[in-house]
């Protein structure tokens, strides 16, 4: 029996995608081979990666002048690759400055990693209120190498309601948990990156979208596998790419196009999020810890209103156990913040959100007794 999987990542994939992948498991595109067996250097793999890039460009409206790269290492490797390629210098030269805004744990980790290769400066942050809001973003120094934000914060459930103004300083953004969930003007960014395992495909593939004029800036000492120019020059095939992951991404993009594209998906995502937030607002036993203007459409943390720590812990443990028994799985909050969290990515149908609300209403009834 299929359950409703609210995992923040690896997350649920559309059932239609899984069924198509299963049907093609031993024969993709009439090759007589599984997509896991096709050589990345062969004529049989080229249609797979070309389809993935073409659909991504179409669905995101990626302009000419941007490269699309399919890499490995997750979004966390991009915490290092971005400063290495955009801000690092030859040995002995003064470090370039890079601007960061700390809106959550992943944003903090990105800045910490960048500090190894650049003069990483945190311009603003929201740790003072447990990352429950997006701070006012100061303008960068015009000489900054880039300006980095985490567009949607998976753990704490916040999103940027509007982009910061960065002038000529390239804007870099982690969009792992919000890619393709709503329209995004790619032309406003220098670099976008996303680990696929949240809203795009299986774990193991990372998509990087980078403006071409930012490619080729890495210092000579940068390892080959960490250079954007090498990956771009080899069409994401400098080494063996995550072939099966790219294949699944192509199926997810095909599914998304069939749903009506990003605009149609945005309407569904807003409906799901509004439904769940409305329930939390009316609940006497659960609430959202995130300030309203900054609430994510994709990741919705929630906590009980119980104030006693021991009773709250016992209540959350019971909630998660009974939810799982009801087919509502992976609702635990991140280990660093606790509570609960419902990740309602593109693949989560509205029926899953309604089922969660029904369960929570029933659960509340048992609390009141």
Catalytic machinery residues = 106, 174, 198
Backbone angles phi, psi at 129, to 5 degrees: -125, 40
Backbone angles phi, psi at 96, to 5 degrees: -80, 150
Instruction: Measure the CA–CA gap between 111 and 131, rounded to whole angstroms.
Output: 15
The token pair that represents 12 in the structure block = 């649920």
Instruction: Measure the CA–CA gap between 190 and 213, rounded to whole angstroms.
Output: 9
DSSP letters for 17-59: HHHHHHHTTT-STTSSS-TTTS-TTSTTTHHHHHHHHHHHHHH
Q: Say which residues have a Cβ less than 8 Å from residue 137's Cβ, sequence separation at least 6.
A: 101, 123, 124, 149, 164
HSE value, Cβ hemisphere, 13 Å, CA-based, for 61? 11
Q: Say which residues have a Cβ less than 8 Å from residue 263's Cβ, sequence separation at least 6.
A: 183
Instruction: Measure the CA–CA gap between 175 and 164, rounded to whole angstroms.
Output: 15
DSSP letter (8 states) at residue 77 = H
Q: Could you tell me if 197 and 9 are in contact, meaning their C-beta atoms sit under 8 angstroms apart?
A: yes
Q: Scanning the structure block, which residue is given the tokens 């593939």?
A: 205
Closest-CA residue to 270 (of 350, 188, 367): 350
HSE value, Cβ hemisphere, 13 Å, CA-based, for 21? 22
With 0-12 / 13-18 / 19 or more C-beta atoms within 10 angstroms meaning exposed / middle / buried, residue 310 is exposed
Instruction: Measure the CA–CA gap between 94 and 21, rounded to whole angstroms.
Output: 50
**DSSP helix/strand/coil, 211:** strand
């Amino acid at each position: 029996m299929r359950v409703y999987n609210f995992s923040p990542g690896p997350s649920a994939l559309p059932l239609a995608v899984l069924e198509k992948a299963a049907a093609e498991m031993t024969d993709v595109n009439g090759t007589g081979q599984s997509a896991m067996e096709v050589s990345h250097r062969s004529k049989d793999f080229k249609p797979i990666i070309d389809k993935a890039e073409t659909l991504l460009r179409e669905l995101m409206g990626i302009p000419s002048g941007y490269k699309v790269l399919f890499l490995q290492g997750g979004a966390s490797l991009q915490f290092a690759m971005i400063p290495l390629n955009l801000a690092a210098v030859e040995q002995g030269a003064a470090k370039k400055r890079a601007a960061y805004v700390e809106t959550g744990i992943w944003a903090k980790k990105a800045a910490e990693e960048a500090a190894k290769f650049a003069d990483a400066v945190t311009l603003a942050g929201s740790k003072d209120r447990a990352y429950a809001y997006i701070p006012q973003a100061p303008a960068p120094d015009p000489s900054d190498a880039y300006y980095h934000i985490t567009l949607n914060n998976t753990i704490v459930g916040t999103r940027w309601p509007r982009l910061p103004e960065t002038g000529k300083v390239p804007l870099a953004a982690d969009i792992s948990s919000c890619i393709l969930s709503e329209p995004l003007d790619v032309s406003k960014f220098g670099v976008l990156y996303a680990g696929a395992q949240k809203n795009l495909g299986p774990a193991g593939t990372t998509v990087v979208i980078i403006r071409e004029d930012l490619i080729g800036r890495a210092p000579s000492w940068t390892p080959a596998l960490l250079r954007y120019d090498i990956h771009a020059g080899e069409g994401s095939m400098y080494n063996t790419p995550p072939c099966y992951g790219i294949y699944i991404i192509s199926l997810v993009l095909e599914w998304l196009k069939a749903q009506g594209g990003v605009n149609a998906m945005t309407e569904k995502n807003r409906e799901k999020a509004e439904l769940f937030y409305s329930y939390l607002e009316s609940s006497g036993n659960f609430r959202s810890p995130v300030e309203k203007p900054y609430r994510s459409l994709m990741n919705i943390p929630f906590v009980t209103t119980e104030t006693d720590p021991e009773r709250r812990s016992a209540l959350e443990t019971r909630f998660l156990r009974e939810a799982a028994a009801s087919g509502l799985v992976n609702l635990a909050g991140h280990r660093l913040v606790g509570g609960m969290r419902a990740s309602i990515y593109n693949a989560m149908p509205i029926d899953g959100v309604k089922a969660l609300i029904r369960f929570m209403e029933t659960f509340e009834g048992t609390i009141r007794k």
